[in-house]
Amino acid sequence: MPELPEVESVRRSLTRARLRSAVRSIWRSEHALRTGEHWQDEHLSLLRGATPQRWERRGKHLLWRLASKSNEPLGMLVHLGMTGRLEVARTGAPRALHTHVELRLHDDRVLRFVDARRFGGVRARPWEALLAEPPLCDLGPEPLGPGFDGACLYRVAGHSRRALRDVLLDQRVVAGVGNIYALEALFLARLHPLLPAQRLAASAWDRLAVAVRQVLEQGLRNGGTTLRDYRDADGNAGSNQQALWVYGRAGQPCRVCGAALQGFVLGGRGGVLCPVDQRRPRSRRVS
Ligand SMILES: [Zn+2]
């Protein structure tokens, strides 16, 4: 599933496409997307006649800001889910299989949302409403933003009994981190992924916050991690999968100490750790 670096890479590629012409028409396939709550009412017809302004990102969500014909700010929210992607093409270029939304612009270009497994979602709203409603209103801080640090993680998760890996996956704690970057950050911070969050001292939270930023920045520099389907709007894959420390490497040697990396499963989701670099500490307080 695309995480912050992948979604941000898509945002940058969409910005480069310089979509400026108003939306002329909207086509929607007959298949429902992302059946979860908040996503059934797509309201895509709101976008007819609207003029695109800019692409933003919040956590793993893309936001397209547009101005309506009467100059009201509108937004289109996109979640890529597991296999979703956005592509810009010429009008008339053949639609990829599994295209579910097509916005045709006046400059004879189209923006398409393609999603084979349909866990992604697209919806339109007045801009302020979009920001004030779930899922955006529930998101925690942006890890690459100015205010993110160990104190900020401690405030929301410092008393939690949950495992560190699951704390990092909680979008209310920090927005945009998923399983890949959570496991990578825990490795860099030399913290055991299954350690209860409440055992961390302030210094360990600081180390973890720094590690989260480092792995996300590296992912971004590499254009994202491509496991299967991820592509940016230009169709480019990322290369960060070659730089991963632990994710997807169970049984292979640790790049730091050479020990065989171990897989684990928690809450139905797999993970990987180094038994040497991420040893479970005996002391109650982990610094
Ligand atoms: Zn190791």
The C-alpha torsion from 23 through 64 and 125 to 121, rounded to 10°, is 100
**Residue 248 binned pLDDT confidence (cut-offs 50, 70, 90):** very high
pLDDT-based confidence at 233, cuts 50/70/90? confident
Dist. CA 198 → ligand 1 center (Å): 24
Rounded mean pLDDT of 90-114?
96
User: 9 alpha carbon to ligand 1 midpoint, in Å?
Assistant: 30
Cα of 258 vs centre of ligand 1, distance in Å, is 6
pLDDT tens profile 177-205: 999 999 999 999 999 999 999 999 999 99
Asked if pLDDT for residue 38 goes beyond 90, the answer is: no
Q: Which residues are catalytic?
A: 2-3, 60, 269
Architecture of the domain delimited by 150-273 = Orthogonal Bundle (1.10)
CATH class of 4-138: alpha beta
- The pocket of ion ligand 1, defined by CB under 5 A, consists of 254, 256-257, 259, 274, 276-277
The model's pLDDT over 117-174, given as tens digits with 9 standing for 90+, comes to: 999 999 999 999 999 999 999 999 999 999 899 999 999 999 999 999 999 999 999 9
Measured CA angle at 83 (ends 26, 209), to 5 deg: 115
Residue 212 to residues 93, 162, 216, Cα–Cα distance (Å): 40, 18, 6
Which amino acid, one-letter code, is at 260? A
70 pLDDT tier (thresholds 50, 70, 90): very high
Cβ–Cβ under 8 Å, residues 101 and 122: yes
Sorted by where each begins, the domain ranges of the chain are 4-138, 150-273
| Bridge partners, 76 (sequence order) | 64, 124
Whether the per-residue pLDDT at 229 is higher than 80: the answer is no
Confidence at residue 1, expressed as pLDDT on a 0 to 100 scale: 83
Residue 97 to residue 117: CA distance in whole angstroms: 11
Tokens of 144: 């690459």
- Distance in Å, CA 275 to ligand 1 centroid: 7
What DSSP designation does 263 have? Answer: E
Distance 171 CA to ligand 1 centre (A): 28
How many whole angstroms from its chain centre is CA 267?
20
